[in-house]
Amino acid sequence: MKTLDDALEFETVASLAARMRTGGLTPVTLVEEALGRIRRLDGRLHAFSAVSPDRALAEARAAESVLGSGRDAGPLLGIPYAAKDLFNVKGLPTMAGTNLLAGNVAAEDCPAVQKLAAAGMVLVGKTHTVQFAFGAVGINHDQGTPHNPWQPTPHAPGGSSSGSAVAVAAGLVPVALGSDTGGSVRMPAALCGIVGLKTTVGRISRAGVYPLSWSLDSVGPLTRSVEDAALVYQVLQGTDPRDETTIGVPQQDVLRGLKDGVKNLRIAFADTLFFDGVEPEVEAAVRDAGRVLESLGARVDRIAVPEAAEVWADEKRPLWIAAEACVPNGELLDRHFDALDPVVARRMIQGRSLLATDYFALLRRVAALRERVLWTLRDVDALLVPTVPITARPVSEIDASFETYMDFNIRYTRNCTIGNVLNLCAVSVPCGVTSAGLPIGLMIYAKPFGEDLALRVGYAYEQATEWHTRHPHLQWALAPSN
């Protein structure tokens, strides 16, 4: 009978880096263990769309050489990671969740992958995503749905960075890249019990990342700890002329104040809309997080955020992402509609009904709301809300019909999408586990370009609790013996 005997599967980047610098671990050993765990478990988990062992081992040997020379290239040296299958990786197809793009082989790595390579990280492969990254629950009817590792019965992993979240939560890799347009880093992080950082548009280049909505797309890491997210975010930042939103945005040293604590920070529960329809266990866990932060010296209260309700009530807003998504995917919609994921295609094609005049008017309304919310939050350092109002549900329940799918999609995405529209940044951290054994996520919002504060609050909370140390038991996922 196969057993799980890996020694490193749930260690953090910081812990692994320390072990490599004391000689107790080598990059090659670490990567070989990651590749072995993928072989044993991914047949059931279905996190990876492609694995690149040759590249991974070559990069691991290069990192080992750097360590052997006595040079310290930073804490990410030799750390394995995966990239969502929207990110261009040289020699691998960027399929964006559809087999129709199996021939779309990248000629070079995208800037995000280049930056991680320069930091010495080791790419082991690419992870599955919702088709075209357009879905909150994580279901892919074309290439298959990654399996939330917390339950042996298929449960929603969250989307669209579904494979990335499953890979980290199951201990296949300590870090994975995701993208977030309406919650696609934070929702799967919450449902799979890990950390997910949604960055402000302009912080990290999206060049070479298959687009969904150029107005809203952002890049962010999924990790096992807040510190790990900060370490990866630190190197991903930077100006890139291929992404005009990054021009003129100064880089931020997020590590300098990460461990400064929350004493005298004003942290507020955002009580407008965010807590409507929330499961009782989820609300209890999130409210308890406020008490933890208060015990650490923060000033915790409640605040109305009327802009959130206005965002959600805007009749044209649901068509915004779909309309922009019809641009990169227009030819596939026209020529291969029946071959696409039926739920995704049916939702996306509705974007063509948004008139140009309505689109422009929507952008102006959003700009006004973004200005107003800065005033609303003028005295607030961070907001606390549930990342998602409900925990993971069985895939069969969600996917029973188009109507049930859409109902769950809306319920999962609400609290996150509001932040994308208002241009906030956020980190989702584990804050509990339900009586059914499902993770609960706490979302910490900060104002635009306030990633340092969001991560600082998240780190303080994480250090005072133990939820980030919980992990799923995966004996059920072992590949059968030959």
pLDDT at 6 over 80: no
Does 1 fall in a domain?
no
User: Residue 57: CB partners within 8 Å, gap ≥ 6?
Assistant: 28, 31, 32, 35
Determine if the pTM surpasses 0.75. Answer: yes
For residue range 399-444, list pLDDT tens digits in order.
999 999 999 999 999 999 999 999 999 999 999 999 999 999 999 9
Beta partners for residue 197, in sequence order: 427
Catalytic residue among 84, 115, 198, 447: 84
3-class SS string, the chain: CCCCCCCCCCCCHHHHHHHHHCCCCCHHHHHHHHHHHHHHHHHHHCCEEEECHHHHHHHHHHHHHHHHCCCCCCCCCCCEEEEECCECCECCECCCCCHHHCCCEECCCCHHHHHHHHCCCEEEEEECCCHHHCCCCCCCCCCCCCCCCCCCCCECCCCCCHHHHHHHHCCCCCEEEEEECCCCCHHHHHHHCCEEEECCCCCECCCCECCCCCCCCEEEEEECCHHHHHHHHHHHECCECCEHHHCCCCCCCCCCCCCCCCCCCEEEEECCCCCCCCCHHHHHHHHHHHHHHHHCCCEEEEECCHHHHHHHHCCCHHHHHHHHHCCCCHHHHHHCHHHCCHHHHHHHHHHHHCCHHHHHHHHHHHHHHHHHHHHHCCCCCEEEEECCCCCCCEHHHHCCCHHHHHHHHHHHHHHHHHHHHHCCEEEEEEEEECCCCCEEEEEEEECCCCHHHHHHHHHHHHHHCCHHHCCCCCHHHCCCCC
Does 2 fall in a domain?
no
Please report the pLDDT score of residue 481 as a whole number: 41
pLDDT at 3 over 60: no
Please report the pLDDT score of residue 24 as a whole number: 85
For residue range 189-235, list pLDDT tens digits in order.
999 999 999 999 999 999 999 999 999 999 999 999 999 999 999 99
Does 412 fall in a domain?
yes
Q: Which residue has the higher pLDDT, 9 or 33?
A: 33
- Could you tell me the residue range of the domain that residue 245 belongs to? 13-476
Mean pLDDT in residue range 350-363: 98
Sign of the dihedral through C-alpha 194, 256, 382, 213: negative
For residue range 86-140, list pLDDT tens digits in order.
999 999 999 999 999 999 999 999 999 999 999 999 999 999 999 999 999 999 9
Tokens read off for 106: 């990248």
Does 4 fall in a domain?
no
pLDDT at 8 over 80: no
* Of residues 279, 10, 283, the one with CA closest to residue 149: 10
Mean pLDDT in residue range 300-315: 98
Residue 335, Cβ density class (10 Å: 0-12 exposed, 13-18 middle, ≥19 buried): exposed
Residue 455, Cβ density class (10 Å: 0-12 exposed, 13-18 middle, ≥19 buried): buried
Catalytic residue among 49, 52, 126, 160: 160
Please report the pLDDT score of residue 72 as a whole number: 75
Beta partners for residue 390, in sequence order: none
Which residue matches tokens 């422009």?
A: 360
- What is the CATH number for 470? 3.90.1300.10
Does 8 fall in a domain?
no
**47 and 166 in contact (C-beta within 8 Å)?**
yes
Q: How confident is the model at residue 482 (pLDDT cuts 50, 70, 90)?
A: very low
**97 and 131 in contact (C-beta within 8 Å)?**
yes
Does 420 fall in a domain?
yes
pLDDT at 7 over 90: no
Asked about 84 being catalytic, the answer comes back as yes
Cα three-residue angle 420-421-426, rounded to 5 degrees: 30
CA distance 329 to 324: 9
Strands 122-127 and 48-51, by their bridges, are antiparallel
- Number of other CB atoms surrounding residue 88 within 10 Å: 24
Please report the pLDDT score of residue 239 as a whole number: 96
Does 5 fall in a domain?
no
User: Residue 188: CB partners within 8 Å, gap ≥ 6?
Assistant: 138, 157, 158, 159, 160, 161, 162, 164, 165, 166, 178, 196, 222
For residue range 43-95, list pLDDT tens digits in order.
999 999 999 999 999 999 999 999 988 887 799 999 999 999 999 999 999 99
Catalytic residue among 184, 205, 213, 218: 184
CA distance 443 to 190: 9
pLDDT at 5 over 60: no
Asked about 184 being catalytic, the answer comes back as yes
For 42-63, b/e burial (b = at least 16 CB within 10 A) is bebbbbbbbbbeebbbebbeeb
Least reliable range by pLDDT among 16-25, 119-128, 445-454, 459-468: 16-25
Domain count, the chain: 1
Does 72 fall in a domain?
yes
Q: How confident is the model at residue 4 (pLDDT cuts 50, 70, 90)?
A: low
